[in-house]
Structures are given as C-alpha cells and as structure tokens.
Structure 1
Amino acid sequence: MRFNFIASRQMALVRLAAALAGAMLSGFGFADTVQPEDWNAKFQATYVWQDKRSFPAAYSGGHSLKTDKERSYSFTTTAMFGWRPWAGGELYFNPEAARGLALSGLTGLGGFTNGEIARSSSRRLKSYRARLFLRQTWGEGGEQEAVESGANQLAGMVDRRRWVLTAGNLSVLDVFDGNAYSHDPRTQFLNWSLMTHGAYDYAADARGYSWGVALEWYHDDWVVRAGRFIQPKLPNQQALDRHIFRHYGDQVELEHAHSIAGQPGKLRVLAFSNRTRMSRYQDALDLAERTGGTPDINDVRTGEQTKRGIGFSLEQALLDDVGLFGRANWADGKTETYAFTEIDRSLSGGVLIKGTSWGRGQDSLGLAVARNGLSDVHRDYLAAGGLGFFIGDGRLNYRPEAIVESFYNLNLAKAAWITLDWQRIRNPAYNADRGPVNVASVRLHTEF
C-alpha cells in the first residue's frame, strides 16, 4: 500500500511538472509543435467527367466552342515523394500520369471548365515527371510555427522569420498566389478563372509546369516572393526554352497576414513580366490591312516582346468553417496569350463552406463568380476574324465572359470524395451572339 501511495504521488508530480512545462512553452510560442519528418510519400488521383448541354449560337468559327452536346473527361494520378537530405533542405520528386478528352478540343472559352485538363491531354495515358525540385530554408530566429505533413511538404517547425529558396522543375502556382479557398481544381473550384488570376499568363509548358527559381522572405506577418521561370519555345507547347536570361517569366508577390474579428486572412499583390518571342495583335492587324487578308498572329511572331500584368488577391475567414476569396487582375493584352489562357482582365470572388454545421466536417460547399475581359486590341483582332490559340468565332459581338460555378464536395470515406459541380457561362469567348453554356461535372478524388 505504501509503495502504491508513493508511486501515485510521484506520478501526480510528473503530471504537474509536464503541465507547467507545457504552459511555459506555450508562453514562448512552442505549444503547437509537430514531429519533424525526414521523408514522406503522398498520393493523389482525380477523375473529372463533364457534360456540356447544346446551346444557341448565331455563328461559329475555327476556334469556337461546339454548339452541340459534348462530354469530356480527365484523369490524373500523382505520387509525391519528399526527403530531407540535410538540416533545412528538402528534395521533392513527383511522377505523374494523365489522360483526357477536352470539350471542343480545348477551344471556345476564356475560362475553361476543368482545371485538371491539360493542353497536351490525349486519350492515351501518358506518364512524365511533374516536379523535381529542391527547397532550402534558412531560419532567422524568433518565434516558430508548425508545418504540417502534406503533399510536397515535410512536417516540422520553422522560424516565422526565414528565407526559403526553391529551385527546379515545378509549377509557378506551387509558390505564387496560394489562395486557401480557391487554388486547387482537384478539391475546390474547377474553372480556370478561379484556380488563379485569370490574366496571369505564368510561364509553363502545356501541362502547367516549368523550370525556375523562387526566393521567399518571411518576416512575421509579411512575405515577399520573387521568381523567374522559363517559357515554352512556342505558345502553349510542351518544349521549354532554356535560355532563362533571355526568355523568361518574372513575378514578384507581397503578402500580408492579418486578423479581423479574430478570424485570419491574407492580402496579396502579384506583379508579373514575361519576355519571349511573342506576336503583337496590332502587328497582325497592320499586316492584314496591307495585304487584304485575315489577321493571323502566326504570321508576325518575329521579335521579342514583353507582357506585364498585376493582380490583387484576398482570402478571409468569416467563421471557423466559412471563408471567402476575391481576385482582381489585369494584363496589358498587347501580345498573344503565351502559356495560360485568353483572359486580359478578370474579377472573381466566392465563398467556401465546410460542412461542420450540418455534421459533415469533411464535406465542403462552394459558390463563386468570375467576369473575364479582353484588351481593346485583342477584341479588334478577333472581330476581324483572327484566331487566338484558344478562341476565335470568325467575328465578335463583344461582351465580358461571365461565369458562375457551384459545387458540393462529399466525403465518401477517409480518403475519398465525390464532387457534384455546375457551371453556367454567359458570352463564351466574349461573344454575346453565342450561349449561354451549361456544364455539369462529377469529380472523384482520393489522396493519402
């Protein structure tokens, strides 16, 4: 009995000491700690099926969305491996495979309906390297914060004041414009206008990846990012131009984290500048006027040009399970779309709600709108019968392209979801003589 009494008293003292130590650590900002990972392995697979209903159109052109009923699909599967070779260093490798059939050959829209469909998609399953990059972090002391284990992210503790260098093969969107509520078409909104700034013509090959380097500086609630990535040799093609000091896509982003009524939020400003061998719409119009033909950007791709743009982004939690986002962005629109989609101005916003309040904490409900536009010279080029890489109806009765998207993401099991999604697009490809277009989608997704 005496032994049990002493043992229980000692155990009580140990528990008291642990509680005091925990309180002290919490006071110094170390309460939320995670066990560091030396390596991890993640996996995802996503299938998207879409059904486009027939719609009215006064006329159609070479790059119009087809007016009859269509169905499309996409499938991607990715393995994501991470390894910590030394303190502060992280190496990631992502083999990926994809196949798909796009609506109308991926033409006829500014805001395409499936962010998982690549410009290089075909019905044959193709495997490739999606990412191979190194991330190096240098801490500058101060408070620490936890980094959870995730895809291309090793768990551990990092200084809130730090430098992070990322270099290698990856997507520009892995580093820039990381909006928490509208960024990932595998789990959130599907439309291209909502996965990032619509007018952000970021450097990428036809699958959405590039090679480059980005440097980030974290200082408490502030982050500054800058990066340079290589462009494709030709617009929206797979082969990349490795002359990074001659042809490139530069971007700089400023981010600030804040709290409103106790709920976290972030503001971002992103500026980009692309330099490569691009066509100018005005050059194509001038050549057509001299020769009497139809303007064609492929006839005037003769010199190096620069394209610039800017975007503003907001993410804000309203409640613990409700968040909203908004984006406003602009590009000069003088040159052809080179690596993303044919949008020169875009406004978008929406709300994302977790299902906690109705007892479905792993479910989510989303509603968003986007309004896309073109520059004056881009409109003139299309109205004269010119074809862009993605759009061209032979003529143009210009109106901004307006998109509404809603979805419900239902958790089926621990690592499996099914999403029902609906999109309505007015003035497809900025043409009031066509549409509206309705697209229903079903998305199956697993990750672990």
Structure 2
Amino acid sequence: MPSHLSRLIAFTLLAASLTRILPAQESAQPATEAQTDSPASPPKPEDPPATLFPHSDKSRFLIVGQTNIIFQAHGPFHTPYSGPNSLLGRGEYKTSLLGTLYLGAQVIRNPRASTDFLIDVESSGGRGISEALGLGGFTNLDVVRNPSLGSKPYIARVQLHEVIGVGGELTEAERTPFSLSTSVPTRRFDLRFGKMSLPDVIDLNSIGTDSHLQFMNWTVDNNGAWDYAADTRGYTYAGVAEYDDKIWSARYALGLMPTVANGIDVDWNVRRARGENTEFEFRRTPFSAFLPKERKGAVRLLGFVNHANMGVYRDSIKAFEAGLTKVPDITAHAPGSTVKYGVGLNFEQEITENTRIYGRFGWNEGQHQSFAYTEVDQTFAFGADYFMRRYGRPLDKAGITFVSNAIKRDHQNYLRLGGLGFLLGDNGLNYAREDILEGYYNLHAWRGVFYALDGQFVEHPGYNQDRGPVLVESVRMHVDF
C-alpha cells in the first residue's frame, strides 16, 4: 500500500505544480458544466467563451460539439484469485474516445411559451480498463459497458422540449444543448419527450456531474444506487415533466427499462417495464444561513421505482442450493415483472468565490438484480472543487472527492458463491465496502481545449478485500467546438 500512496502523492504534487509552470491565460466557465443548470458559480462576465468557435445566443439554431479522450492505466495489484468479471490484476492501459454533435432548433421562440427540437449524434470508441468490469464505481463514465457495439455513430438524444410560462416574470437562462432559450419564465412548466439520458435532468450537481471537465468515476458523477432506466449506452425513451419556481423545482420522469440487464434494447410495454423517478429541488442548503446571500446552493431529494424482468438474489441462491444451477444465476428465472425502489439525496454549496462543496447519498432495497446502471446498493460521497482565479487562471480547477459504495447481504452471498452480475464476479468474495478517493486537476490550454490529470485510489475493488488496492491514473483531453 505505501507504494500506491506514494504514487498518489506524486500525482497530486505534479498536478499542483502546473499552476506555476504554465502562464496565465484568458478563460471562461466551460459550456459543458453550464448544462447542469446548477445555481452555483455562474460564468464570470469578463471571461471569453471557452469554445473553439463562437456561438450566437440570438440564433434560432444551435450547432455545437465536443470530443473527450481519456487514457487510463493501473499497475499490478494483489489478487489471489479472480473471475470472468474481475478487474485485471496485471497492469493494463486503455483509451476511450467520445465525440458528440449537438443540434437544436427553436421551433417557437416566444420566451413565455417556447419549443425546442433537439438531437445529438454520438460516437463512442476505445475501451475501458478490464472492459469496464470489476468495479461498482468504475473509473471512466465515458466507457460503454458493451464494447462489442463498436464506435459506429448513433443517435444518442432526440427530443421535443417545451417551456410553458406561469405568470409574466422572466429570468435570464444559460443556453445549453438541452435548452435553447436565454430568457425563461421564473415560474414555468418544463416538458421533455423523446430519447434522452435521465441524468441530463435529474440528480444534477455542478461539482459532480460532468465527466468531461470534472471527476470521471461512475459513482461520483451519478448516484451509484440510482439504477436509472437506460440501455447499455446510458439512454432511454422517456417523458419528463418539471415545474420550476423561484427557489424550488419538482420533476417526474417515466423511462423505458432494458429488456435484460445492461441490454441495448428497451421494453416498450410500459405496463410491464418502466422506471418512475421523482425529484424535489430546493435552492437553499443548511449552510445558507451562515453564508452571504450570493453564495448559492441546492438540495435535491430523489425517489425511484423500477418495474422490469429482474431476478431476485435470494431466489437464485436457493436454486443453486437445490442443485438446479451449477452456480447462482440471477438470469435463471421465469420471465416476469418485479419491483426495485430506492432514494437519493445530493447537495451543493458555494463556500467562497472559488470553493464549492458537494455530497451525495443513495440507497436501494438491494434484493433485486442490479439492472441498468451499476452494482451498487448504497453509496455516499463528499467532495469539493477549487477554481484557480486568484492565480490568474480562472478556468483551471482542482477537485477531490471520496466515495464509499456497498451492496446488501443477499447480493454479497450471491457473489461469494460464484454468481455473476453484469459487472462483478471474482469467483468468490471476502466482503468489504468499495472505497474510492479521486482527485483531478483540469487545465485550460487554449479556447475550448482542456487537459486533465486524474488519480483514483480504489480500496477493495468489487467489494473484495482479498483484492487490491489499486491506483488508476488518467490523462484527459477535452475539446469544445
């Protein structure tokens, strides 16, 4: 373990040293981070656009794009045994590539009742370490969990976005690929229908949501216990209804579940399979009473109920003990609809002009099969980021976070007896929580070009204290067009 810690310390010192080595540059708040619609740390008006090409906020149309390239590697680590779904114990390195072209048109431009048509085309190539297996909190959110799909471009999102005002008061809004209006009613209904990723609109957090300019881990950028409706690429067909008021918002989303765990096809029978999600957001936190009014924050409470063809861990263990299967097999059950539910909480708070903190908690009942996102039944995370404005680099940013993931007893026993989930399976399990410490430094190089160094120290990978720890080191290049 000391060698891993020394490498992590060396990485941190190298990242910090970049602020002194490189000259100060003009920069701006990244457009990608603004997509989170968060109340914290808006762009500074004196900062120029952080894109390669300028974009007009007055045009009826939007054409923007981005490219994200992540190189990840880890050295050999302790592993007395492994299985088909293990993080590889030998050293390895992989590169992922993600490109997205966002297109949008304002069909109706009236700020009190606007309509957007949105579409984006995406290509996801490369690989994740160990083919994205062996971790509940995997280290690269850009990786598609089924590498056999290849890098052929596909339509990631296509939707109608409708804003309906309630009352005459208007407020300024940031134009993003998900919402084109720059002025919206303060009190409004916000409706979306089509293909989307549910984390586009639910469980947002301006410190821990964007894997292109912030943290990279699955369970940092999203709530790991929220098994949200999605295919293997992370998208679904859904409808979202939202009401926004001055200091609070309420959202409901209904999305299609995959036909099988981590599957590319979704089940169109809504009576049989669906994901129902409710979120309430209050744009104040317990810290607000002790901070100046300009220090923004928010608290969001999430609840979800999934209906799908999910197996039950305890039933698969009983079938194995009865000799019906060679090992517990969560997929060996009669087709039918079962129910999985859970809750989540996240908060963010601006402490100073440059410092923000955030936290997340998630829990699901853990008896039913992990089906759509990852194999986590409970999670909590806490972290912070810091802008380098006082050093003359307003878009450079450093972040650090700690996340701890867990699975329930039946899920543990299933893996201990040799069962396989869609991400985990070491042919055994000596259970412990999976603890992850992640830190990054994001460097603004020129216009829309950013580079980042990132380190993730994982204790008990795949909840197995017989394996690890492992340090995963990353270099990222991000370009906004």
Asked if Structure 1 and Structure 2 have the same fold, meaning a TM-score greater than 0.5 normalized by the shorter chain, the answer is yes
> Pick from 198, 205, 215: which aligns with 2:224?
198
Distance 1:66 1:349 in 2: 28
- Going from structure 1 to structure 2, the CA distance change for 1:132 and 1:57 (only over 3 Å counts) comes to same
List per-residue Cα deviations over 1:201-228 (Å, max 9, x = no partner).
0011111010010000112111000010
Amino acid across the alignment from 2:301 = V
Q: Is the 8 A contact 1:202 1:340 kept in 2?
A: yes
Query: Which residue of 2 is the match for residue 430 of structure 1?
Result: 463
Query: Which residue of 2 is the match for residue 261 of structure 1?
Result: 292
> Pick from 87, 94, 100: which aligns with 1:72?
94
Query: Which residue of 1 is the match for residue 392 of structure 2?
Result: 359
Amino acid across the alignment from 1:112 = F
Query: Which residue of 2 is the match for residue 322 of structure 1?
Result: 355
Which secondary structure does the structure 2 equivalent of 1:319 belong to? coil
Distance 1:141 1:37 in 2: 26
- Going from structure 1 to structure 2, the CA distance change for 1:241 and 1:403 (only over 3 Å counts) comes to same
> Pick from 120, 140, 144: which aligns with 2:166?
140
List per-residue Cα deviations over 1:283-329 (Å, max 9, x = no partner).
10110111173211121253211000100100100112211110011
Q: CA deviation at 1:144?
A: 2.1
Bigger mean CA deviation after superposition, 54-63 or 418-427 = 54-63
Q: Is the 8 A contact 1:56 1:436 kept in 2?
A: yes
Is 1:38 aligned with 2:70?
no
Q: Is the 8 A contact 2:107 2:117 kept in 1?
A: yes
Q: Is the 8 A contact 1:83 1:92 kept in 2?
A: yes
Over aligned residue pairs, what C-alpha RMSD do you find? 1.5
> Pick from 160, 172, 186: which aligns with 1:160?
186
Which consecutive residues of structure 2, in runs of 5 or more, have no partner in the other structure? 1-44, 46-55
Is 1:282 aligned with 2:314?
yes
Map residues 97-246 of structure 1 onto 2, 5 A cutoff.
97-122=123-148, 124-246=150-272
Name the one with the larger strand percent: 1
Q: CA deviation at 1:108?
A: 0.7
Which secondary structure does the structure 2 equivalent of 1:343 belong to? coil
Distance 2:174 2:137 in 1: 33
Amino acid across the alignment from 2:119 = F
Q: CA deviation at 1:125?
A: 2.5
Q: Is the 8 A contact 1:37 1:154 kept in 2?
A: no
Q: CA deviation at 1:123?
A: 8.9
Q: Is the 8 A contact 2:161 2:179 kept in 1?
A: no
Is 1:307 aligned with 2:340?
yes
Bigger radius of gyration among the two: 1
Q: What is the count of residue pairs matched by the alignment?
A: 416
Q: Is the 8 A contact 1:139 1:161 kept in 2?
A: yes
Q: CA deviation at 1:245?
A: 3.0
Query: Which residue of 2 is the match for residue 291 of structure 1?
Result: 323
Amino acid across the alignment from 1:390 = L
Which secondary structure does the structure 1 equivalent of 2:331 belong to? helix
Distance 1:125 1:108 in 2: 23
Distance 1:409 1:225 in 2: 32
Which of structures 1 and 2 has the larger relative contact order (alpha carbons within 8 angstroms, sep 6+)? 2
Which secondary structure does the structure 2 equivalent of 1:105 belong to? helix
Q: Is the 8 A contact 1:99 1:122 kept in 2?
A: no
List per-residue Cα deviations over 1:230-265 (Å, max 9, x = no partner).
011111011111112321111000000024432100
Query: Which residue of 1 is the match for residue 53 of structure 2?
Result: none
Which secondary structure does the structure 1 equivalent of 2:296 belong to? strand
Amino acid across the alignment from 1:150 = T
Q: Is the 8 A contact 1:75 1:100 kept in 2?
A: yes
> Pick from 400, 405, 413: which aligns with 2:438?
405
Distance 2:350 2:466 in 1: 39
TM-score, reference length from structure 2: 0.84
- Going from structure 1 to structure 2, the CA distance change for 1:322 and 1:294 (only over 3 Å counts) comes to same
Amino acid across the alignment from 1:265 = G
Bigger mean CA deviation after superposition, 330-339 or 142-151 = 142-151
TM-score, reference length from structure 1: 0.90
Bigger mean CA deviation after superposition, 142-151 or 383-392 = 142-151
Q: Is the 8 A contact 1:54 1:69 kept in 2?
A: yes
Query: Which residue of 2 is the match for residue 384 of structure 1?
Result: 417
Which consecutive residues of structure 1, in runs of 5 or more, have no partner in the other structure? 1-31
Distance 2:391 2:149 in 1: 40
Query: Which residue of 2 is the match for residue 16 of structure 1?
Result: none
Distance 1:381 1:210 in 2: 29
Q: CA deviation at 1:142?
A: 4.7
Q: Is the 8 A contact 1:73 1:101 kept in 2?
A: yes
Query: Which residue of 2 is the match for residue 85 of structure 1?
Result: 107
Query: Which residue of 1 is the match for residue 37 of structure 2?
Result: none
List per-residue Cα deviations over 1:335-377 (Å, max 9, x = no partner).
1111100000000011011110211101110100100000111
Distance 1:122 1:415 in 2: 31
Is 1:52 aligned with 2:52?
no
Query: Which residue of 1 is the match for residue 5 of structure 2?
Result: none
